Structure 1
């Protein structure tokens, strides 16, 4: 056949996703849920157009990721306020602005990338106006009753109420809902949710492994918030230094309760043993992980524990509070202790920081575990499921 008459292969059909990431209230606080879509976007095919609607506070989440178009909402006075009433109205305004933009955007899917209220409300409003466009939702975990949660009761009541409302909206109109683990899938299924699909997350495993001198006995990375178990850490470390007086813990992360954490450290005379590093860039955070003997996961609530995956990828053994998802996702490469059991946590820390052979054994298992978690596979599965509802 003549080259001129040969048929060109058909072009892949263009896929357009309009995503909502509207829950950011502090530019220096990055949660695990903030990282999922940016990481997946690195593996999206060339025929996929991703539009992400974000507040200006979330720009830092996306600055290193190229395969997307950002639409940044204008700055708002309410962003400087932390009272729940102001945050509610901030969320409401963002949702209204984002849903209006989405309705005027040519797209194949609406995607609420978390179950934080403004992400869900914006997608719900857009779906209500254009019901033929599928809405894909994501649920990371369900917020427990304020009576079962540490921290300010009013703030917890506010979070609980908004989470309840967000889940109700997802249940009523979402065409497909991704959840992070099978336990959460079962819980939501019992509540009457339909079209649920368990889809976890991946981790970026470095191609080369280099030995790094250990400068810290342990590291904790995460938002300074009661639900992260952050205020357990000084109490745990007080037990550790009774047996290991010079042991050092470094805490990486920011939050509005940083002064309260400083006071807790000071009250226990731990200023020489606990370092508050604050917000660190991704490269500096990874460097700290490599320099630490163990990674501590003290979250009281979680759906996956992305910090666990990252620690494992850098061959840092993990000691974690026990959650329903731990055995499902991380069958090896970590030690788990009963939730909120500070003494058991301290005992495991002492075991690993004192025993290099045991630490190396767990580190190897952790690295092997990390290699089973692939962003490429997660993204492929995500896109395959989207095709089923298109």
Structure 2
């Protein structure tokens, strides 16, 4: 029996690393090729990442778009949305012809990903559409919104552009992937029961990490704290620096590793100088593979100060090396990290810093949470195990609903 064709749309990809949604798409590409004929539709700069990650069982459809390293201004964001959307719609019009059994997976709610999938579905109602919707945009007028002051307009634009995506995905997608349990109910309708809204908690590449645990066992502990993620307001990056300043007030030699890049990189550099903590903070930029894992092995605690998040996978990778975590007590993280992490009352920077210090000073507490962190990641987050569970769950839902 011939394999069904699966289109994976990652046309909204912006270079410089992997977002959580990109990581989910990558793991689907890695593990589902045995069952489907996978065609990946993405900007040219996405495919070297697939090669580096060892993904081979797919056909590539390069959109030939101009590489984008980062998006900082509202003008750049608008230009990015329009140009990427137009390019993939041109591809769809010229090259896509429906085959019976076709499946399309849109990897995000951004227009370059969801709109072509929607039009494919409307043109061919029998096409099976799996839509990824991994983060609801914060209301920019909320008191805890990361889009404040001069960033309000950008946040408002993001919020407004997501509303049509939510409407059409909720109405037309056959299955919706979300990353946290609280988001499931937002996509349940009379036609789409709860089982067709699937929670994709995330993946940790244990097949990469296991061989390195022994190799890096004796690495010196150079960093007391480690943060990895996109340098963006939602990730609490500016709060991170204020938190670390508080840590330094009581532990002057503490060092912080920051892995990642993003629109706040320049501003964070300025803040570090203003706070006088240049010697205590090291920016690594984007790291992949062994370079990234070596930094984890040289660190003591993973920090996840996100002020608005749907889950967050980055902290889990460090936890695989036995690093306990500290985060704010966000609703989504209650199911993401039920153990191995100290949850801090939301947005209390003093309490966050004190929790870091507790881990650094209390060996018994540290060891307890370190063991919990390893156990959680090894048993729940393993990418091969989770990919198989996701695929089996998807096939079960498709079979039960004759999809």
Same fold (TM over 0.5): yes
> Structure 1 residue 221: deviation in Å?
0.3
> Structure 1 residue 93: deviation in Å?
1.1
> Structure 1 residue 370: deviation in Å?
0.7
| Separation of aligned partners in 1, 2:274 and 2:68 | 34
**What is the count of residue pairs matched by the alignment?**
378
Change (3 A) 1:218 1:191: farther
Note if 1:366 corresponds to 2:383.
no
Aligned to 2:28: 40
Note if 1:299 corresponds to 2:306.
yes
Aligned to 1:378: 390
| Separation of aligned partners in 2, 1:231 and 1:98 | 40
Change (3 A) 1:80 1:22: same
Aligned to 2:146: 150
Aligned to 2:204: 203
CA deviations on 1:298-356 (whole Å, 9 max, x unpaired) are: 12222221113212222111111212122223221111112222111100100112233
Note if 1:289 corresponds to 2:315.
no
| Separation of aligned partners in 2, 1:77 and 1:58 | 9
| Separation of aligned partners in 1, 2:319 and 2:234 | 22
In structure 1, the residue corresponding to 2:379 is in which secondary structure? coil
Superposed, which structure 2 residues align to 1:81-92 within 5 Å?
Answer: 82=73, 83=75, 84-92=77-85
In structure 2, the residue corresponding to 1:43 is in which secondary structure? helix
Aligned to 2:105: 111
CA deviations on 1:75-117 (whole Å, 9 max, x unpaired) are: 2499897523312312321341343366336462111122222
Unmatched 5+ stretches in structure 1:
1-11
Change (3 A) 1:297 1:60: farther
Change (3 A) 1:102 1:317: farther
Q: TM-score, structure 2 length as denominator?
A: 0.87
Aligned to 2:257: 250
The correspondence for 2:90, drawn from 97, 118, 122, is 97
Once superposed, what is the RMSD of the aligned Cα atoms?
2.4
| Separation of aligned partners in 2, 1:389 and 1:191 | 17
CA deviations on 1:246-269 (whole Å, 9 max, x unpaired) are: 000011111132111101111100
Compare 103-112 and 179-188 and name the one that shifted more: 103-112
In structure 1, the residue corresponding to 2:277 is in which secondary structure? coil
In structure 1, the residue corresponding to 2:226 is in which secondary structure? strand
| Separation of aligned partners in 1, 2:27 and 2:127 | 24
Note if 1:235 corresponds to 2:249.
no
Of structures 1 and 2, the larger Rg is shown by: 1
Q: TM-score, structure 1 length as denominator?
A: 0.89
Note if 1:184 corresponds to 2:180.
no
Q: Is the 8 A contact 2:257 2:282 kept in 1?
A: yes
> Structure 1 residue 125: deviation in Å?
1.1
